[in-house]
Structure 1
Amino acid sequence: MGNVNVSLQVLPVVPDECIYDVVDKVIEHIEKSGVKYEVGPMETTMEGEIDILLKIVKDAQEICIKEGATRVVSIVKIDYKSEGVTMDEKVGKYR
């Protein structure tokens, strides 16, 4: 299986003034994972092997709870095709 794209939006239930701090911890985890990623205003898109990316999604839930969220709502999008898919093929012409 080739690379897939997974977009993740986490919505931790925390006081408004804490939300960016919690989301920043998730983005920091994504960065440390070594996968290719891009932060957007509403979600972060990652590129890589599906098992690795889904583990990051799972880890994100635990990070939010560890950082004080009482609940986490996450929106996950997966773009898959058997030969693989890249972020560059989708948005490269706009850069």
Structure 2
Amino acid sequence: MAAVNVSLQVLPVVSEEDIYPVVDSVIDYIARTGVKYEVGPMETTMEGELDELLDIVKAAQQICIEKGASRVVSVVKIDYKAEGVTMNEKIGKYRK
């Protein structure tokens, strides 16, 4: 299967001071998976096989709960086309 992009924004229901540490735990997990990813100010975008990326999305929910969230609201965006899609083709011209 060709590469797709999946963007994930997790919104853990925790105290204000715990939001960044919980989100950081999710980003650390994404980094450890070895998929290509970029952290943005509102979401993290990953590139890879759809099934693997969706497994990461599922794991992110559990990480938030394990870190103390009573609830997790997530926003997931998927960019898919049969021949594949890369982050670079979309934003490469903006990189310095």
TM-score in same-fold range (> 0.5): yes
Cα deviation digits, residues 9-31 of structure 1 (max 9, x gap): 00000000000000000000000
Task: Supply the distance in 2 between the matched residues of 1:94 and 1:42 (Cα, whole angstroms).
Answer: 18
Give the TM-score normalised by structure 1. 0.99
Task: Supply the distance in 2 between the matched residues of 1:94 and 1:64 (Cα, whole angstroms).
Answer: 32
Name the structure 2 match of 1:55.
55
The alpha-carbon deviation at position 88 of structure 1 amounts to 0.1
Alignment pair present for 1:4 and 2:4: yes
3-state DSSP class of the match of 2:20? helix
Task: Supply the distance in 2 between the matched residues of 1:81 and 1:50 (Cα, whole angstroms).
Answer: 11
Paired residue total? 95
CA RMSD of aligned residues (A): 0.3
Name the structure 2 match of 1:92.
92
Deviating beyond 3 angstroms after TM superposition, the runs of 4 or more aligned structure 1 residues are none
3-state DSSP class of the match of 2:38? strand
Runs of 5+ consecutive residues of structure 2 not aligned to the other structure = none
Name the structure 1 match of 2:22.
22
Give the TM-score normalised by structure 2. 0.98
3-state DSSP class of the match of 2:69? coil
* Percent identity of paired positions between Structure 1 and Structure 2: 75
Runs of 5+ consecutive residues of structure 1 not aligned to the other structure = none
